[in-house]
Amino acid sequence: MSTTAPAGTASQRGAVLGICLAVLGLVVGAVASVFIGVSDVTPATLWSDDGHARQLLTVSRLPRTVAILLAGACTAVAGVVMQMLVRNRFVEPSTVGTSESAALGLLIVTIWAPGMALPGKIGVGAVFAVAGTCLFLLVLRAVPIRSVVTVPLVGIMLGGVIGAVSAYIAFRYDLMQTLSAWLTGDFSGVMAGRYEMLWVVAALTVVVYVLADRFTVVGLGRDTATALGLGYRGVMTLGLGVVAVTSAVVVVVVGALPFLGLVVPNVVSLLRGDNLRRSLPWVAIGGAALVLVCDVVGRVIRYPYEIPIGVVMGVVGAAVFLWLLLRKAPDVG
C-alpha cells in the first residue's frame, strides 16, 4: 500500500511500468469491445464481406470505443480536480449540480437558439455548468459543514432543484426525451461526426496533468497554497473551467456518467494517494476501464438489447459510493 522507497528512479520506473501494463490491458479490452455488438463485426468479416463491416467499424464501433475511453478518462479526471478544488472526497460533477446545470444550459439554447452550432451550444452548457458550480460553492459557504458527507448532500439537493427546473421547461417544450438523453449516459448513439468534441476535453485533461502539482497544492487548502506562493484564485478558476467544459461536452456527446468521477478517484486515492502527479494517470486509466466494462456489461446483459451505460454506471457507482461512505472513515476526511 505505501511505498517506502525514496522518490528515486527505481520506484519511478516501477510506476511507469505499472501504467504501461494498465494501458496495455485497456487497449486489449477496447479492441475486444469493438467486436461486441448485434451486427457481425469480427476480424474475419472485416476482410471478407462487401465492406459493410468495415463501414460499421469506422462509423460506429470505433467512435463508440474511443468515446468510451475519452469520456471515462476525462470524467474521472474532472472528478478528482473538483475534489481538490472543493477539498472534499465526495464531490464530482454529478453530485454538486454541475452536470444538471450543463443540461439546463443546453436545454435553454436548444429552445431559444436551435440553429446554433454544436460548439456554441456546448459553450452555453459550459457557462451554465460554471454558474451552477459557483452557486454550489456559495451555498457551501453559507451552510455550516458538520461532516464531509454534508457537502455532497447539499450538492445533490442543489442538483435536484436544477434538474426540476430543467424538467419543467423540458415538459413545457416537449423535450423530455432530449433531456433524459443528456442526463443518462448512453454510447449507442455515438457515431463519427458526433463525438469529436471529446478530443477537446482530452486536451484539457492533458493540461490538468501538466499542472497537476498546482491542483494538489490547491487541495492542501487556501492557506497552504497562499503560503507556498500559489495563485489560488487562478488555479481555482482554471479548475472550474476544466470541470465545466468536461461536464458540458460529456453531457452532450454521451450523457452524464453518474458517480464515475467519484468512485475512481476514491479507489485510486486508497491505493496510490492523492499526489496528482502520481495518481492522475491511474485515475484516467481507471475511469476509461470502468466505463469500458460497464458498457460491455450493458450490451451483453440483455443481448441483443442494450441497457444505457448511465443505468449500469448508476448501479455500480451508487454501490461503491455507499461502501466508501460506510467503510471506517479514516480520521483525515
Q: Rule CB under 8 A: which residues touch other proteins?
A: 1-7, 83-84, 87-89, 148, 212-214, 216-217, 219-221, 223-224, 226-231, 269-270, 273-275, 277-278, 330-333
Q: What are phi and psi of 329, to 5 degrees?
A: -70, 130
Among residues 50 and 331, whose Cβ is nearest to other proteins? 331
CB of 140 to other proteins, least distance (A): 14
Q: CA-to-CA distance for 79 and 320, rounded, in angstroms?
A: 15
Buried b (16+ CB within 10 A) or exposed e, 218-255: bbeeeeebeeeebebeebbebbbebbbbbbbbbbbbbb
Among residues 170 and 217, whose Cβ is nearest to other proteins? 217
CB of 330 to other proteins, least distance (A): 5
CB of 135 to other proteins, least distance (A): 22
Q: CA-to-CA distance for 152 and 208, rounded, in angstroms?
A: 23
Among residues 302 and 327, whose Cβ is nearest to other proteins? 327
CB of 137 to other proteins, least distance (A): 15
CB of 26 to other proteins, least distance (A): 24
Among residues 42 and 226, whose Cβ is nearest to other proteins? 226
Residue 38 is placed in which grid cell? 448485434
CB of 8 to other proteins, least distance (A): 9
Angle at 122 between CA 187 and CA 249, to 5 degrees: 35
Among residues 174 and 223, whose Cβ is nearest to other proteins? 223
DSSP string over 68-132 = HHHHHHHHHHHHHHHHHHHT-TT--TTTTTHHHHHHHHHHHHHHH-TTS-HHHHHHHHHHHHHHH
Among residues 26 and 84, whose Cβ is nearest to other proteins? 84
Q: CA-to-CA distance for 98 and 102, rounded, in angstroms?
A: 6
Among residues 18 and 123, whose Cβ is nearest to other proteins? 18
CB of 323 to other proteins, least distance (A): 17
CB of 164 to other proteins, least distance (A): 30
Among residues 90 and 187, whose Cβ is nearest to other proteins? 90
CB atoms within 10 A of CB 108: 17
Among residues 71 and 276, whose Cβ is nearest to other proteins? 276
Chain-centroid distance, C-alpha 70: 9
Upstream peptide bond of 304 is cis (omega within 30 degrees of 0): yes
Place of cell 448511465: 310
Q: Which three-class secondary structure state does DSSP give residue 173?
A: coil
Please check whether residue 311 is in contact with residue 298, taking contact to mean a CB–CB distance below 8 angstroms.
yes
Place of cell 495518481: 279
Residue 92 is placed in which grid cell? 464530482
CB of 126 to other proteins, least distance (A): 26
